Amino acid sequence: MYMTRRKPTLYLREDSRSRLFLGFLPRKCSIFNLFLTCLILGFLSMVWLQLSCTGDGSKRGHQDDTYSQKSCPHIPRTVSEDLSWGPHRIALLVPFRERFEELMSFVPHMHQYLSQKKILHRIFIINQVDHFRFNRASLINVGFLESGNETDYVAMHDVDLLPLNPDLDYGYPEKGPFHVASPELHPLYHYKTYVGGILLLTKQHYEMCNGMSNRFWGWGREDDEFYRRIKGAGLKLLRPTGISTGYKTFHHIHDPAWRKRDQKRIASQKQEQFKVDREGGLHSVQYRVDSRSELTVNGAPCTILNVKLECDLVDTPWCVFS
């Protein structure tokens, strides 16, 4: 006579404490049924949370003193591109190194901002992963070369500068380089020859300038040298007009106390930083792309290029600290 095996069953012992919470369950409850019950309870909790929150924690009336509702968690919106937005597509070239908290804000903000303006775009994060000092100009050159043929103009864009005014022009800069973050609008830099922060150029105009100089290791001065390249190429620099928000046009999210900039000048770099590089540029940059990844940040797509730059220690020994 063979004994039959019974299916494993979870028995819940009912006492005065469990009767209150588990009274709706049968005395003999299988693991599957318990799991299903937990799923249902979780779903009902989410529905309750959604119905009980305001949807916008920043909008509160005069009743806050007597009653306050929980603000709903932010759910990012993804925006699908529409080819009817126009014939041009911008490549945002973002030189980058170890500033991930800023990147988490930048990519969703710019994707939403440009989509609302109906501008076709691609966001390229050019991440320097070698052991040399940071070289913003070389990374922009790399981003230009790696941006492909589906984009026909570029934005040299800092990761810590977010446009707030919807009237800023990110359109195709056919008449000449367009400095979005002009000295009248940038929260920090106000001298007349400043062209940093956010600068738009057609790919043809960037080629005419021979890109940016690769000699600037560390922070600063590469934009000033590029201003001379723009003038040397006979291009007219354009800037926004009719923007009334002044220095509040952008949100500058860089924290100097947390992220110290590499402003050291080593050996002959002190003299070289004021010279115009008449030989090097776009097609002399030496680099290797270690990896290329397509990622989304809170629903916003971007391309991450992990790049290793190369340095001529004889020509620019200041690419390292020692």
β-pairing verdict for 120-128 and 28-29 = unpaired
Report pTM: 0.73
Q: Is the pLDDT of residue 18 over 50?
A: no
Q: Quickly state the pLDDT bin for 316 (edges 50, 70, 90).
A: confident
Mean pLDDT for 283-311 is 96
Q: Is the pLDDT of residue 65 over 80?
A: no
Choice among 56-70, 203-217, 298-312 with the minimum mean pLDDT: 56-70
Per-domain boundaries in the chain? 85-256+289-319
How far apart (Å, rounded) are the C-alpha atoms in residues 205 and 186? 23
Per-residue pLDDT at 221: 81
H helix intervals, the chain: 18-22, 31-52, 100-116, 136-146, 203-208, 222-232, 269-272
- What burial class does residue 274 get, using C-beta atoms within 10 Å of its C-beta: 0-12 exposed, 13-18 middle, 19+ buried? exposed
Q: Quickly state the pLDDT bin for 149 (edges 50, 70, 90).
A: very high
What distance, in Å, lies between the first and last C-alpha atoms of the chain?
86
Tell me which residue of 282, 182, 286 sits closest to 226, measured CA to CA: 282
Mean pLDDT, the chain, whole residue set: 81
pLDDT tens figures, 66-94? 333 333 334 344 567 788 899 999 999 99
Percentage with pLDDT > 70 across the chain: 70
Per-residue pLDDT at 12: 44
pLDDT tens figures, 242-264? 999 999 999 998 666 556 665 56
Question: Which one is the CATH code of 85-256+289-319: 3.40.50.720, 3.20.20.140, 3.30.70.260, 3.90.550.10?
Answer: 3.90.550.10
How far apart (Å, rounded) are the C-alpha atoms in residues 268 and 265? 8
Choice among 197-211, 246-260, 293-307 with the minimum mean pLDDT: 246-260
Q: Is the pLDDT of residue 10 over 70?
A: no
